[in-house]
Amino acid sequence: MVGSGPNGLAAAVTLARAGLRVVVHEAADTLGGGLRGAALFDPDVHHDVCAAVHPMAPVSRFFREFDPAARGVVMEAPEVSYAHPLADGRAALALRDLEATCETLGPVDGRRWRRLMEPLLRRSDAVADLLLSGPRRLPDPRAAALLASRVPAHGTPAALRRVLGGGFR
């Protein structure tokens, strides 16, 4: 196997589970590929070296079967998942907690955000399986319909403005 990033390691584990002998080769000085972190400027702060984040990894079917936590792997996740800049210089923050996000958006936009996101959270396992499954598996049709109904709101800044109505009301 060439590369010790998430895809290379997943392939190596899958082949090893099937009984094949696997050797992982990595050209970089540290293992992990796009999943590795390093203390670049401050020894107490780890930065993503290649990727922004891997928020879907812990909910992927592979990671659930592999159980990285039982093997000592810690997946770190920031409190703020992403931010969307607004024209007036402020930013809308998407936090890991739906309630906290809704509070920061204000009563009107918070309700709109909850209406958009809560159904996805209720079926998050099915949605994750839909997004991360290969083309050989048929998706859960309810998850596919739910996701399809929510994607346009996330697709463009104009669509997001329609959902949030312009900001923090």
Beta strand ranges found along the chain (DSSP E): 37-38, 47-48, 80-85, 91-95
Whole-number Å distance between alpha carbons of 12 and 6: 10
- Which residues pair with residue 95 across a beta bridge? 80
| 59 shares its domain with 97 | no
144: in domain? yes
What integer pLDDT is reported at residue 30 of this predicted model? 84
- Percent of the chain at pLDDT > 70 equals 82
User: Tell me, what's the pLDDT at 132?
Assistant: 79
- The domain total for the chain is 2
Do 145 and 115 lie in one domain? The reply is: yes
- Residue 122 has a CB neighbour count (10 Å cut-off) of 11
Q: Please check whether residue 27 lies inside any domain of the structure.
A: yes
CB 56 within 8 A of CB 49: no
Q: Which domain holds residue 15?
A: 6-71
Residue 5 confidence (pLDDT): 86
